[in-house]
């Protein structure tokens, strides 16, 4: 059986897509020894820049951007080949509705949408949800599933405290949030995921909880 394809996307930059993609990759791979591939589909290549800093993290990543000049079919074949070799293929998407987002949503089992507690993020999330609902109607299996995830959440603020309740308004499943934490920035500086060095930290616990929910949502 081939592995699950999980796209991480929102149409707004800076919502924590790459942070969640890299850390989820670490948590899914580390937890049960699953082979996991991270696909960097963003021209900005933040995920590969993050992981290329060190070979120690041992996270496998593939730089596969997709623009209108390249073949979406070939790109999808690459993704499906990776799914044959891995339990999970995570796709870190650019912040737009371009070819990579279209192709990923059309082929993913699950789309994880990181949303920060900001009205602009909510607006962008609504557009992703619209896209994936359109795709669901065309795909016979009802996929992709969706998981909305509060990202860069500051629990000291009212919007931060209420983010899960606010996300439920979209009528899609809501996962455990990821808070604004210095450990996530340090992980990027070190070139690994938080669990690789902050073994007992709230940041690691949040990602572990998210990974557990993601596994269920993609099953």
For residue 184, the partner it binds in Mg ion, ligand ADP, none, with Cβ less than 5 to 8 A by kind, is ligand ADP
Closest to 153 (Cα-Cα) out of 203, 116, 204: 116
- Binding residue for ligand ADP (CB under 6 A) from 4, 5, 7, 16? 16
Q: Does residue 9 touch ligand ADP according to CB under 6 A?
A: no
- What token pair was written down for 75? 């790109």
Judged by CB under 5 A, the stretch of 15-23, 105-113, 168-176, 180-188 that binds Mg ion is 15-23
Q: Does residue 152 touch ligand ADP according to CB under 6 A?
A: yes
Closest to 21 (Cα-Cα) out of 58, 47, 50, 41: 47
- What token pair was written down for 39? 């696909």
DSSP state of 113: E
- HSE at residue 169, side-chain half, CA atoms within 13 A, is 9
Q: Does residue 48 touch ligand ADP according to CB under 6 A?
A: no
Confirm if 205 and 178 have CB atoms less than 8 A apart.
no
- Binding residue for Mg ion (CB under 5 A) from 18, 30, 86, 151? 18
Local structure of 138: helix, strand or coil: helix
Q: Does residue 163 touch ligand ADP according to CB under 6 A?
A: no
Q: Nearest approach, Cβ of 151 to ligand ADP (angstroms)?
A: 6
CA–CA gap between residue 204 and residue 95 (Å, rounded): 25
Within 76-178, strands assigned E span 88-92, 110-115, 145-150
Give the footprint of ligand ADP on residues 164-183 (CB under 6 A). Answer: 178, 180-181
Q: Does residue 86 touch ligand ADP according to CB under 6 A?
A: no
Q: Does residue 181 touch Mg ion according to CB under 5 A?
A: no
Q: Using CB under 6 A as the criterion, which residues of the chain lie in contact with ligand ADP when the complex forms?
A: 13-19, 46, 152, 178, 180-181, 184-185, 188
């Amino acid at each position: 059986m081939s592995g699950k394809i999980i796209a991480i996307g929102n149409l707004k930059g800076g919502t924590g897509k790459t942070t969640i993609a890299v850390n989820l990759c670490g948590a899914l791979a580390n937890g049960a020894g699953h082979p996991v591939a991270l696909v960097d589909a963003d021209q900005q290549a933040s995920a590969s820049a993050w992981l290329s800093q060190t070979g120690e993290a041992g996270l496998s990543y593939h730089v596969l951007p997709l623009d209108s000049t390249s073949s979406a079919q070939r790109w999808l074949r690459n993704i499906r080949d990776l799914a044959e070799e891995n339990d999970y293929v995570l796709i870190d998407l650019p912040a737009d509705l371009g070819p990579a987002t279209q192709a990923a949503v059309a082929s993913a089992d699950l789309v994880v949408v990181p949303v920060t507690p900001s009205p602009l993020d909510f607006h962008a999330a609504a557009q992703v949800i619209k896209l994936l609902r359109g795709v669901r109607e065309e795909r016979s299996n009802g996929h992709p599933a969706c998981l909305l995830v509060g990202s860069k959440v500051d629990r000291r603020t009212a919007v931060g405290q209420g983010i899960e309740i606010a996300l439920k308004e979209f009528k899609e499943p809501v996962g455990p949030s990821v808070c604004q934490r210095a450990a996530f920035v340090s992980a990027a500086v070190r070139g690994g995921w938080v669990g690789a060095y902050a073994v007992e930290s709230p940041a690691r616990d949040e990602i572990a909880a998210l990974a557990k929910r993601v596994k269920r949502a993609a099953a």
